[in-house]
Amino acid sequence: MGAGVAVSADHVLTAHYLVLGASRVEIVGLDGRTRDVKRIALDHESGLALLTSGRSDLEPARLAAGRELQPGDPVFLLTCTGEKERRGASGHVTFVGPFEAFWEYMLDRSIMTTMVNPGLAGGPLFDARAQVAGIVSLGLAAVGRFSLAIPIALFLERRERLESGEAPPRAERRAWLGFYPQASEDGIAVTGVVPGGPADTAGLQRGDLVVSVDGEAVLGLRQLYEAIWQSGPGEVIGMQVLRDESIHVVQVLAGDRYEFFQ
């Protein structure tokens, strides 16, 4: 279960991991009525998903356009804990900037806030004018940064494509390995792989310590992703990893996340 916000009479915006891999999705509106979803459009780069309702009877929220949120700005969120209970929280923006996560995901401008999300992820983050400024995605444990939101600007840039249900042109898609890297003082460790994904097929293993990508040393997640994303789906990426106190070269045939998660 997750939350979402109507951005038109028949479209609901939410966090993409809430519907990733789902075979069927339903929308339950504030009126308690259930609506079937006839199409799910995913955007793996931003982490957003747009659901197309089978009925055009939703009341859309206003979307913030123009000025982006800045540290210190007041914000509030609305979410739900189930089909009938709604909750909210208010706070301030503490940080607007880069964010990297362990599922091959990176934002140049994420929104961190002081709020603890009292319910499900995927709901709207509002600015002081009650306009949707972002989609609440994650709960964080960092001091003063309790919720992360995806800026609504990323949706506005992709809106036409998402509403059409189309994936990005293949030439614009990033290489995807299907692994879970975690950065620490000791380096970048592989904590798992997606079963049947490119890294799994190539033999990358849990516990491997990534040393370099195609001969380029990588010291953090941002540097790792930037190195991987120099290639596209269908290209071979050489991963140099430390395993059992020796260096191994794992040749990974990069996959296409849009095709894998159709």
DSSP conformation letters of 81-140: SSSS-EEEEEEEEEEEEEEEETTTEEEEEEEEESPPP-S-TT-EEE-TTS-EEEEEEEEE
For 181, other C-beta atoms within 10 Å of its C-beta total: 27
Dump pLDDT digits (tens) for 192-238. 999 999 999 999 999 999 999 999 999 999 999 999 999 999 999 99
Radius of gyration for the alpha carbons in the chain, expressed in angstroms and rounded? 19
pLDDT computed for residue 140 by the predictor: 83
- 8 A C-beta contact, residue 77 and residue 133: no
What are residue 255's DSSP bridge partners? 176
- 8 A C-beta contact, residue 204 and residue 179: yes
What is the average pLDDT score of the chain?
Answer: 94
What are residue 189's DSSP bridge partners? 182, 209
pLDDT band of residue 143 (cuts 50, 70, 90) is low
Dump pLDDT digits (tens) for 40-61. 999 999 999 999 999 999 999 9
For the chain, list the domains and their CATH numbers: 5-60 (2.40.10.10), 74-161 (2.40.10.10), 171-260 (2.30.42.10)
pTM recorded for the entire structure: 0.94
pLDDT computed for residue 27 by the predictor: 94
For 9, other C-beta atoms within 10 Å of its C-beta total: 12
Q: Of the candidates 137, 143, 105, which has an alpha carbon nearest to the alpha carbon of residue 120?
A: 137
What are residue 90's phi and psi, to 5 degrees? -130, 155
Share of the chain above pLDDT 70, in %: 98
Q: Is pLDDT above 70 for 145? A: no
Q: Rounded to whole angstroms, how far apart are CA atoms 236 and 211?
A: 17
Burial string for 141-154 (b: 16+ CB within 10 Å, else e) reads: eeeebbbbbbbbbb
Q: Is pLDDT above 80 for 84? A: no
Which positions ≥6 away from 235 have C-beta within 8 Å?
Answer: 175, 253, 254
pLDDT computed for residue 23 by the predictor: 86
